[in-house]
Amino acid sequence: AQSVAQPEDQVNVAEGNPLTVKCTYSVSGNPYLFWYVQYPNRGLQFLLKYITGDNLVKGSYGFEAEFNKSQTSFHLKKPSALVSDSALYFCAVRDVRSGNTGKLIFGQGTTLQVKP
């Protein structure tokens, strides 16, 4: 079955420290993977995606993610966290069973709390 797992409900880091938000996936074929961020009372904002090519993908606001095929993971990272990074983060995979519709399967979300 196609699925995405975010094993941590919440991640706490101190400002200036590196952060990692974990994501693992289960999908047949080559995965298309995405990270989105959601601030309170706002829609989801696209951060980055992996389609093919370099396993390290760079995105908005200094975030990056590493695709690891052997571990079926796509962890979100940032070298130095900011208080303003505090938000809800979603990992998503394109549902390849649906052909080319592009519909996404989302994880449950991880709340990132960056403390000053």
Partner 1 sequence: GAGVSQTPSNKVTEKGKYVELRCDPISGHTALYWYRQSLGQGPEFLIYFQGTGAADDSGLPNDRFFAVRPEGSVSTLKIQRTERGDSAVYLCASSLGRTGGEQYFGPGTRLTVT
Is residue 49 exposed (0-12), middle (13-18) or buried (19+ Cβ within 10 Å)?
middle
**Selection from 81, 99, 87 nearest residue 32 by Cα:** 99
Q: Which of residues 25-54 bind partner 1 (CB under 8 A)?
A: 32, 34, 36, 41-46, 49, 51
Instruction: Give least dist CB 23 to partner 1, A.
Output: 11
Instruction: Give least dist CB 55 to partner 1, A.
Output: 16
Is residue 57 exposed (0-12), middle (13-18) or buried (19+ Cβ within 10 Å)?
buried
Cβ atoms of residues 72 and 25 within 8 Å: yes
At 87, give phi and psi (nearest 5°): -175, -175
Give the per-residue contact string, 50-89, with partner 1 (x = CB under 8 A; - = no).
-x--------------------------------------
**Is the CB of 39 or the CB of 80 nearer to partner 1?**
39
Site residues (vs partner 1, CB under 8 A)? 4, 32, 34, 36, 41-46, 49, 51, 90, 92, 94-95, 98, 100-109
